[in-house]
Amino acid sequence: MRWPGPASMPPLDAPPGRAPGRAPVRLALATARVQNRVVEPAEYQLMDEAEDGMWWYRALHAGVLDVLDPNRAGPVLDAGCGTGGFLARLRQARPGGSAMGVEFKPEAAARARTKAGVPVAAGSINAIPFADAAFGGLVSLDVLCHAAAEPDRALAEFRRVLRPGGQLVVNLPAFQWLSSAHDARVHNARRFTAGGARALLAAAGFTDVRARYWNALLFPLMVAQRKLLARDEGHRSDVAVPPPWLNRGLHAVTALERRMSAAGLSFPAGGSVLATATRP
């Protein structure tokens, strides 16, 4: 299956069975609500520069690819795709697949389109500009945590645009007590536990819900960095590529953790929660 061009994107009009003008109205209302709560342009720039090489993004993308089922029928949507790092990695890992993205900021959507070489629409996860049952898989990485996101509304949209049997994969920052200057910089309003993530997805109507912690081996260092070394509210976010020797070392630890998880080990805590679910 070839990678789709704009002409083969799922329709952007109102979903079947809804009034013709409903989708644009929903999108406009969602846009007004989140206009002042989106990621700052400087953070998009940092993300764009870091996500190809920084150890954390590499570990995240590898972990998501481990759980993203390649056998679900239909394209994959990256909901809140940022500047397109995961979409580019997905296309590289699965060149025969089909994917596209949606991102609130038009400038970031344009960057993602260029970086990944796939269609990316400008829009909100609270009112996704695609028709019902358009996708076989949906990925949303560290997006439901944003101040601009409305988790219940967004999850209802995820369920709407997924086909029956479609797979949902979400990554979420862990533990509200771990909120820090980094969260303020990227406008994170909420953090999650694995149990809370499972309950949230189940309440939204998803089945076969699973959630686990990752970035567990480095979790003590993360706590020290967030709560002791970078407590000042004026501290920059954590989105930056460290020196090469440190970047290699940190990535090696996450690779070891992935092998441990593949062997069936689970962790009681970690810096992030990775959850999967099925749209019934």
pLDDT by residue for the chain (280 residues), tens only, comes to 333 433 344 444 333 334 334 555 554 444 444 444 556 666 667 777 788 899 999 999 999 999 999 999 999 999 999 999 999 999 999 998 999 999 998 998 999 999 999 999 999 999 999 999 999 999 999 999 999 999 999 999 999 999 999 999 999 999 999 988 778 877 899 999 999 999 999 999 999 999 999 999 999 999 998 888 765 555 566 677 899 999 999 999 999 999 999 999 999 999 999 999 999 9
Q: Which of 46, 16, 24, 10 is nearest to 119 (CA)?
A: 10
Specify whether the CB–CB gap between 157 and 125 falls below 8 A. yes
Question: What residue ranges define each of the domains in the chain, with the CATH number in brackets?
Answer: 19-278 (3.40.50.150)
pTM: 0.85
Helices (H), the chain: 22-34, 41-50, 55-67, 85-93, 106-116, 151-161, 181-185, 194-203, 219-224, 244-262
